[in-house]
Amino acid sequence: MDFSTDSVDTALVAEFERRFQAGVAQRATEADKAGGMPPENWQDIVASDYLRAFHTEDIGGLGLDGVTQAQIMETLARACGGSYWSATMSTLVCGKIISSYGDKVEHRRLLDPLLSGEKLAAFAVVERTSGSDAGTYRTVVTPAPSGDGWVISGEKARITNGPNADLGVVFARFDGSADGSGPGPDDWCFAFVDLRQEGVGQYDMPHMGLRAMPWGGITFDNVPIRREDVVPVPQAEFAQAMAWGWLFISICAIGLAENALQAAVEHASDHVAFGRPLAHMEGVQAQIAAARAEIDAARLLAWRASWHRTEGRSVYELIAMLKPYATEMAVRVVQSSVQIHGSWALTPDHAVERMYRDAPMNVIGGFTSNRLRELVAAADGLDITTFQEFDWLSATGLLDGPSGLAAASAGVRP
């Protein structure tokens, strides 16, 4: 496994970084204050060919290796986390699901507008009453009354690009039965839904961090879908599709942590307290050294996962390890940066204050850390069972009336 890049790819990554630092990064503070992505950010992202960076040449992509892709992702993540989430969710997660589970010929009509930036996609998964547990989702795809195609009904909430997406890649229950008997526990699908049609509602939801990211909900009221745009998929495959999301969220956290560390180093070098620069204090040096090691460790794991994923290998366990480690690491690094900056870091419009709000969004987004840790433990051989009801009281005799209660109190088994 070789993580080195040739001179062409190195120059390409440097050009992405130059572009995004000159444009997107300069608007990050105002985007956070306004609570939305500036149109100029989207224009910069489209013009850079970022949207094509994660796809093969046969569908209009740049055909880059996984490590180069990961490095390019980090350039945009460091410029503006919210803009990064919006663009990468559309092109990487939604685009990969369409190209992997759809038909590459039939669904070029969906892919081409995403890769060109003409349209924006949302990966609509979680619902108002359901988070990471896909088994509890209620949005359903059923046969159209006309017999031609499908209709979708339900609501998705807390969705990146939800308020303004043109295309929804929706994970839903699938009822393909003609008699309407209803979906079974293993009946699921990806539905590619045109969101610019009657019956679709889109709304915005305020959020604490990553405020340049459009975030909200989508409602479906018997919205028609083409027959070929509903792709049945086993629920077990859902996590494999989610792996792209776990990867890009992890890289967002790595970029955020790198920014926080850089800000801490600059402040520690410039600020004088107790007669010396903060950088001369052993405690500050320890925080910075620990952050450096943790960021580099997370980045190497991200490169490894991206390299394997782009080669077509399963990286389920790798990314299940990466996502909790990288996102929680970023929270720790930002907290260290806040401590080094002192109260300045908690004032509005300070770059580290924005990082302090952005970092937890990466921890929560995509999948819960505790559930991912269960997946890693299961891959290591632990038997991870689901909850089953258990009667704790019958064996004690407490349910047998007064005589059983008296016997239990006396320590006598009934």
- Is 50 exceeded by the pLDDT of residue 414? no
Share of residues in the chain with pLDDT > 70 (%): 90
The span from the CA of 268 to the CA of 288, in Å, is 10
User: Which tens digits make up the pLDDT trace of 305-315?
Assistant: 999 888 777 78
How would residue 118 be classed by pLDDT, with cut points 50, 70 and 90?
very high
- Is 80 exceeded by the pLDDT of residue 62? yes
User: Which tens digits make up the pLDDT trace of 364-402?
Assistant: 988 888 888 888 888 788 877 666 676 767 776 666 666
Q: Where are the domains of the chain?
A: 7-119, 122-233, 236-379
For the residues 9-17, what does the mean pLDDT come to? 96
- Is 70 exceeded by the pLDDT of residue 255? yes
For the residues 256-279, what does the mean pLDDT come to? 94
How would residue 10 be classed by pLDDT, with cut points 50, 70 and 90?
very high
User: CATH topology for 7-119?
Assistant: Butyryl-Coa Dehydrogenase, subunit A; domain 1 (1.10.540)
The span from the CA of 127 to the CA of 135, in Å, is 11
pLDDT score at 374 = 83
User: CATH topology for 122-233?
Assistant: Butyryl-CoA Dehydrogenase, subunit A; domain 2 (2.40.110)
Pick the range with the lowest mean pLDDT from 35-49, 129-143, 148-162. Answer: 129-143
In the predicted model, what is the mean pLDDT of the chain? Answer: 90
pLDDT score at 381 = 83
How would residue 405 be classed by pLDDT, with cut points 50, 70 and 90?
low
Give residue for tokens 């997660």: 93
How would residue 249 be classed by pLDDT, with cut points 50, 70 and 90?
very high
* CB 245 within 8 Å of CB 151: no
Q: Which CATH architecture has domain 236-379?
A: Up-down Bundle (1.20)
- Is 60 exceeded by the pLDDT of residue 358? yes
The span from the CA of 392 to the CA of 377, in Å, is 28
**How many Å separate Cα 226 from the centre of its chain?**
27
Determine the angle formed by the axes of helices 66-79 and 282-310, rounding to 10 degrees.
130
Residue 337 identity (one-letter amino acid): S
How would residue 239 be classed by pLDDT, with cut points 50, 70 and 90?
confident
Model pTM? 0.89
- Is 60 exceeded by the pLDDT of residue 179? no
Dmax (CA) for the chain in angstroms is 84
Determine the angle formed by the axes of helices 316-341 and 235-270, rounding to 10 degrees.
20
